Structure 1
């Protein structure tokens, strides 16, 4: 209870008993008592009502506050998960995130490819289409699954809470851990990765197989693993080849295996198991040595990846440009080849040509192994043979039909593998020394062909092999038809090969009923290869450099002749064309979308190959760069750029007459820069910026140009993005934005002046810089107009005083030149100039402040004198003799 008044006072006021006093002035008199009693009662009642109302309102507020904050939180229900892939898709979509059921289904399949996605993620939505394209191509061979790992409360979301980017792509194989896919997220790259997953190892049955692999791949990692009862050595090497695809998604390292101890001995390997990493210029050997070099997956994989080198590095930018190019940006120049690098083709002739040239470039003359020279020749032969093949014709004419049942039911034939013609037949010969490439080596075809620079010699020499080699396909390095004809050809080369026929009891199914028979596997392999070829050709047709004839520059050992060795890089121009655009190359206008550029970071220069890409032009390009005879290429705007963000920079300029009240800023390029700044009689204010120019620079340009136009000097503003457009060295800026003023007379290169870096960019600073660059007569006219624009008489008087002092200085300088020269013609020119300078000085001395207005007779006489001075201001410099030791001030 809240007390309102004293209880004693209440009892006194409310008491009706008492003896009335004798006087009304007394306290207890009857009159005083009645008035006091009535007033006090009213006040007491009001106070009690007010306090009671206050207590009720306070209690009500507390109740409302508690009721509001005691309500349960309002939450929206989680939206029901929907399918990410359509129901009729070949991709099995676990859109509710059932991780356990999904993994149970995945582990039952031989090869599976899984996409963990978030439905709201833009990258997941993009990869969905590419993922489904790959699934349609590889259906029946690889099982594709998709798991929604974002649905709240789902099993996948609860188990995987640390996923920072979507989607996550993992390949699973029976008996092995998953392999994370880190390559480009497009259909062709995914298909190539899964083809490598299905066949991670190449089996070597002869020396010819090894030589063939070395002629195609950058490096061949060979594991010598005997097939024991447990096959543990083979399984470890198989797992190394499988898990290495997480770091080598395009298969630049070819993993091969030799299981025959006899073949291993022939290849010089005596200790098993062991591994060799065979590259173009050296061979690394891995020998098992207890705990220091054990035969396990981690040690072998680190050894292979750490020692792998290649003559031309293939760069696959994955949104991390600095990371991909960082190890090459150490100061040495880089040669970058932009060309289509579709991984579904067996060979890329453009890339193979660059690799061949790189091997020549890096081969020092005194240290080159003879085998390296032979390998270079072999690669050239392999490239030209591949270019002769017509894969599309083969797929079109191949007859896909069921094989006819054999007439002899009990018949076997020992088939020797040549270049993996039948990789599923497990037959290894102890000594296999024959083959097409061995024949080429024996007959000296390589040396004879390489002695001539004409490719036509080698093309004609390869006609003998064309019929047998034309049957190989991109995805399957095999010979599918005319095997008997090619076999008879190889019989002539090697007489040691013999085939035996044996009558052996067999339990094989009839061929038409056995899907795993060699003939049916052959049919399926050819069909799948043609399907891949068709899909690859829909993306882009195969490209190959044309054959050349004539003299070709010699690039052998040039890397050892200079201290600045070129790094050779290759970038896919189809997926990464924006890198070429940043270097000023419009890749869409290049033949076969192929271009070559050399970047020299130390010299801050770049050189672009102007001719079409072929064996001669690239060698000449490298040779001329090494000799220092190349002309620097200037980057400029690329037309029709769709995905490069910068302000408009087209090749058009304002060709109309400039408006006095309107000033437009011209966007310059490398091609239009000289044309604009060399316009006779025009003052051009150019801003060089890193990207878009700031508001302060643009505003200063506009105000300065408008001021100069109002004062009688034709002026305009322009800007140039220095990050995307290169200029000649004399116009290179050391800070941005850089403000340049150009005045040209049309006779040669434009004269330029730069605003100092420490000066604030303003309209007054640019106007003052432009005044210093003008010829003296025009400068006087502009300064007179500026004096007239001043409001105070003191400022006008000071302005006229400065002009008089300037004219006096010019008179004294020209008088000095007239006295020092002995050339009569020059003395006459200087005398005429001095006469008009004296007249201008006289008219200026008579000019008053009040004469700086329109229709002033004195100002008109001064301007007429300046016009005459302008006509006789320029002096013919050919009149100067070689004995003149002083410099004539042109301004």
Structure 2
């Protein structure tokens, strides 16, 4: 192996000796490689700059202890010094933390004497908070009541809501000293828990701390506090709710029996009491408070069923609820109160009687009066459907009851003024919670039956409507008592803060306060200003919602009751509310423009932009064919097709019988019959066949020629023009509208031909440009080849010159070597001659000396 390596090295050295240029190249490459490695290693060092040390997040005047270095050990020391602690975990770069900083500062300035406010930077990499806590979002608020906690706040980061939650933690129990306080505590719409503890024997009874912890547990589970905890220390006050034993917990419920915590079955711990309360409490009105971040809170609630949403201004710091909220809660309580029987005559229903008298075949003096009893929430009398069974199956059943009507009843002199008899028999026609028939036997005058028979010959048994059988209305003040148990269209009641949920209210149809139909309900007792509210029913299953249109002559309670009854009716008269862009512009307070200017702008537009309010009137215009383009702002394919639609509108600009329109379905609600399943979509509504709209084929590319063929094939106006021109070209009747249409059609054909010619010219120009471009490419390639040949020739000449120079350098180097050798030889010869001369002179001197001695 070593021999092979040595042989290969020798061959390389011999090759380098023969070709010195290879040696120079190898040396240069090795030097470059060394420099590159050295440069790379020098850049591989850690050049990341150290993070800047954190600074205070809160201002110096804010009463908040800012631990901006993440000193988590200081938090424990500060918690032990205060009864209630407020811990604010933040990240200095987080926008939500920056927004909540001002709100927390406002709360801290108000409650600094009662609460210890601490802010901790949990983003500093060298702090203990970053290493010990695992937070996935910021900011986070934790509250501690003595050693109990943490109680996390999950509400919006708004100062009133944070302050209200902090006050609830400071005082989790409400002291009820008298029966009046207890009655006021239990009459509110929130669920109430009352604990009876006597403080006679000891400063704190044994179960009081557990009860206090239960109240804090409920705040940890539900930050909004849907369940309120009160404490009673007087035995006289406790007897008002039948509490006689000490350390008893009482849960007040409106619709079911109130409960007492079973201490014999369950352990009396804070977790057990909290779990027992949340399993058995009742609520009729639920607050929906968004957490301030992305969540599915609203979706989870709306999927449970139809929801009645009340948007109202809310101040969480008020001790008493507003008048609007109190009325809304009272309506919800009466709506869910099902203790009254459904057969009670005092039921709050509109009842209409539609009656018809049918003569009995066996008797001419007896008649069977059949009444259709319609009972439904807010069912107007004028719209009551007084229809009787006409199908064969229902007709046989109807005849059976008519034959049995007067069989076993003696003839009784019932006057025509009485609507029904005392012995009416009721039978249900079909499944409906509000409809049934009643058949009663009565005595009638034969003359009346004969006159009716003459007026309606050929009809089976003649029917008459006596004056007393006109529809009757029975109304009660309490119109929705127990409606929750008498209808299949049940509602859930929700309250939302309109200040925090204004985008949702605006999307449902709420307008601005200046020019809106938002209900302005009962005024507050404090300042007398009228609170603005907005009410809507949302049915997510059917994707519809209804908006309360308030009657100025009615109160809020009456309007809400009518609104709820209309929704609960089997034949509801509520109209689906549609929201469009024009409603949002009006709600924004932009002001209306001049109608003449708007009309001129519409005339100048090639494409008509439709909205919710103008959609039906524009589509159903019987004077024009309408080509409708469905699009959305987030659809990329829709924006690609805009130029095709603009070209089509320019071609049809002179034709007044065809309109090109488009509608943004993401911002405009449309009736269900005009919706499409995908975008982009194109529909054509012919002028005389609006009910037979034609959809553009999905498998056909949307191009200008295809759109023109689609319009020519299905348009009514162009079809009439072709028919009139083909029927009688010389009859003289073509001077009417058909001739105009034919002329417009011919003009359109000429424009299409002109477009084809322009396209051909454009194709020829493109072909010429392509040929010129190709010729230029060939010229460039020839020039590059000639330059390459010249460069190769110059390189060859330079190589030859370099070779000659190398030969001259070698010859000169040889001459120099020879010259050096000659110089060395000359110097050696000169030294030799000098040495010989010196020796010869020495010999002569020696001979002379010898001669002298001899002489």
- Category of TM-score, reference length = shorter chain: 0.5 to 0.7
Tell me what 1:728 maps to: 671
Offset at 1:561?
2.1
Once the two structures are superposed, residues 234-268 of structure 1 have per-residue CA deviations (whole angstroms, 9 ceiling, x without a partner) of 11110111232123323321111234566546633
Matched position secondary structure for 1:559 = helix
**Contact between 1:581 and 1:638, CA under 8 Å: does it hold in 2?**
no
- Whole-angstrom distance in 1 between the partners of 2:536 and 2:29: 83
Q: Please tell me the root mean square deviation across aligned C-alpha atoms, in Å.
A: 4.1
**Contact between 2:91 and 2:97, CA under 8 Å: does it hold in 1?**
yes
Tell me what 1:205 maps to: 177
Report which of the two has the higher share of strand.
Answer: 2
Offset at 1:619?
1.4
Structure 2 CA distance for partners of 1:62 and 1:274, relative to 1, 3 Å: farther
Tell me what 2:558 maps to: 616
Tell me what 2:581 maps to: 637
**Contact between 2:189 and 2:285, CA under 8 Å: does it hold in 1?**
no
- Whole-angstrom distance in 2 between the partners of 1:187 and 1:170: 15
Tell me what 1:867 maps to: 738
Tell me what 1:315 maps to: 288
Q: Does 1:718 align with 2:661?
A: yes
Tell me what 1:571 maps to: 496
Matched position secondary structure for 1:702 = helix
- Whole-angstrom distance in 2 between the partners of 1:9 and 1:772: 85
TM-score by length of 2: 0.60
User: Which of 754, 772, 778 lines up with 2:695 in the alignment?
Assistant: 754
User: Which of 95, 106, 110 lines up with 2:68 in the alignment?
Assistant: 95
Structure 2 CA distance for partners of 1:765 and 1:306, relative to 1, 3 Å: farther
Tell me what 2:151 maps to: 179
Offset at 1:573?
0.7
**Structure showing greater Rg:** 2
Offset at 1:634?
1.8
Q: Map 1:69-80; keep pairs closer than 5 Å.
A: 69=41, 71-80=44-53
User: Which of 738, 749, 771 lines up with 2:681 in the alignment?
Assistant: 738
Tell me what 1:340 maps to: 313
Tell me what 2:190 maps to: 218
- Whole-angstrom distance in 1 between the partners of 2:314 and 2:594: 31
Structure 2 CA distance for partners of 1:657 and 1:235, relative to 1, 3 Å: closer
Structure 2 CA distance for partners of 1:157 and 1:657, relative to 1, 3 Å: closer
Structure 2 CA distance for partners of 1:608 and 1:718, relative to 1, 3 Å: same
Q: Does 1:670 align with 2:670?
A: no
Once the two structures are superposed, residues 69-111 of structure 1 have per-residue CA deviations (whole angstroms, 9 ceiling, x without a partner) of 3653212011121111111222221222222123312320122
Q: Does 1:241 align with 2:215?
A: yes
Offset at 1:68?
3.2
- 5+ residue gaps, structure 1: 11-39, 374-549, 782-802, 808-832, 844-860, 872-891
Offset at 1:319?
5.2
Q: Does 1:701 align with 2:675?
A: no
User: Which of 142, 149, 152 lines up with 1:170 in the alignment?
Assistant: 142
Once the two structures are superposed, residues 197-231 of structure 1 have per-residue CA deviations (whole angstroms, 9 ceiling, x without a partner) of 11100123343332110122411012334556563
Offset at 1:706?
3.0
Q: Does 1:105 align with 2:78?
A: yes
Once the two structures are superposed, residues 385-439 of structure 1 have per-residue CA deviations (whole angstroms, 9 ceiling, x without a partner) of xxxxxxxxxxxxxxxxxxxxxxxxxxxxxxxxxxxxxxxxxxxxxxxxxxxxxxx
Tell me what 1:127 maps to: 100
Q: Map 1:462-473; keep pairs closer than 5 Å.
A: none
User: Which of 131, 137, 142 lines up with 2:115 in the alignment?
Assistant: 142
Matched position secondary structure for 1:276 = strand
**Contact between 1:553 and 1:616, CA under 8 Å: does it hold in 2?**
no
Matched position secondary structure for 2:728 = helix
- Whole-angstrom distance in 2 between the partners of 1:631 and 1:309: 32
**Contact between 1:135 and 1:144, CA under 8 Å: does it hold in 2?**
yes
Q: Does 1:303 align with 2:304?
A: no
Q: Map 1:256-295; keep pairs closer than 5 Å.
A: 256-260=230-234, 264=238, 267-269=241-243, 273-289=247-263, 293-295=266-268
Tell me what 2:834 maps to: none
Tell me what 1:581 maps to: 506
Offset at 1:744?
4.7
- Whole-angstrom distance in 1 between the partners of 2:596 and 2:677: 28
TM-score by length of 1: 0.58
Structure 2 CA distance for partners of 1:643 and 1:108, relative to 1, 3 Å: farther
